[in-house]
């Protein structure tokens, strides 16, 4: 994609701090990190979001996430990390080339996902389960 910033990183049109790379994925440091060392894992083939990810890339993506996470743990001596992905504008996605974030966490770093947790009204846990299961399909691969 010509106007995709991550495609430009992958094609080396714009510079990035590369942590890891193979034929399917690349990992770079996020330029606006939540904490220093915040890494991104990107598939090399352009895809907008999680559901758009090519089947043959899932494994490489998660494998790269493990390799980079392990390096973060050892190099930065962190005790924990968040692994997440924003998908869709409403979920906070700002670059529409699928990516995983891996961000270091520190004790008392005051970063909070502000959640207003709900309870299922009577019968709704089952109702939601039934509603969603109707659309569960076996993978196409
Ligand atoms: P998201 O908002 O989940 O789509 O995440 C996009 C991330 O890409 C943000 O955290 C940005 O800071 C990061 N980002 C944008 N441009 C670059 C770039 N040129 N190099 C590294 N990270 C970038």
The residue segments making up the domain with residue 12 are 5-114
pLDDT at 127 over 60: yes
Q: Is the CB of 34 under 6 A from ligand 1?
A: no
State mean pLDDT over 17-39: 97
Q: Atom 22 (ligand 1): residue with closest C-alpha?
A: 30
The Cα–Cα gap between 57 and 51 comes to 12
Q: Answer whether 25's CB lies under 8 Å from 58's CB.
A: no
Return the ligand 1 atom nearest residue 28 CA: 21
**Residue among 68, 95, 111 whose CB has most ligand 1 atoms within 8 A, to mutate:** 95
CATH of the domain at 21: 3.30.428.10
Q: Is residue 96 part of a domain?
A: yes
pLDDT of residue 70: 97
Q: Among residues 38, 97, 99, 101, which one is catalytic?
A: 99
Q: What is the Cα–Cα distance from 85 to 10, expressed in whole angstroms?
A: 19
42 found inside a domain: yes
**Percentage of the chain lying above the pLDDT 70 cut:** 98
Measured from the Cβ of residue 13, the count of other Cβ atoms closer than 10 Å reads: 10
Tokens of 121: 């009204």
Domain count, the chain: 1
Could you tell me if residue 121 is inside a domain?
A: no
Let me know if 110 is exposed, middle or buried by CB neighbors in 10 A (0-12, 13-18, 19+).
Answer: exposed
Q: Does some domain include residue 138?
A: no
In a domain, 136, yes or no: no
Residue 29 is assigned to a structural domain of this protein: yes
Structural domain includes residue 120: no
Residue 135 lies inside a defined structural domain of this protein? no
Active site residue 99: yes
Does 64 sit in the ligand 1 pocket, CB within 6 Å?
no
- Cα(96) to centroid of ligand 1, in Å? 10
pLDDT range class, residue 81, cuts 50, 70, 90: very high
Question: pLDDT (tens digit, 9 = 90+) per residue, 40-68?
Answer: 999 999 999 999 999 999 999 999 999 99
């Amino acid at each position: 994609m010509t106007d995709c910033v991550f495609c430009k990183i992958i094609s080396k049109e714009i510079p990035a701090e590369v942590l890891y790379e193979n034929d399917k994925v690349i990992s770079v440091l996020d330029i606006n990190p939540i904490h220093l060392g915040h890494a991104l894992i990107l598939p090399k083939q352009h895809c907008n979001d999680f559901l758009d990810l090519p089947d043959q890339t899932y494994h490489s993506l998660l494998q790269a996430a493990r390799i980079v996470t392990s390096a973060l743990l050892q190099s930065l001596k962190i005790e924990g990390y968040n692994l997440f992905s924003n998908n869709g504008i409403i979920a906070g996605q700002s670059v529409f080339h699928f990516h995983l974030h891996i961000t270091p966490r520190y004790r008392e770093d005051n970063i909070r996902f502000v959640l207003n947790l709900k309870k299922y009204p009577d019968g709704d846990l089952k109702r939601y389960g039934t509603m969603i299961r109707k659309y569960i399909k076996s993978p196409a691969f």
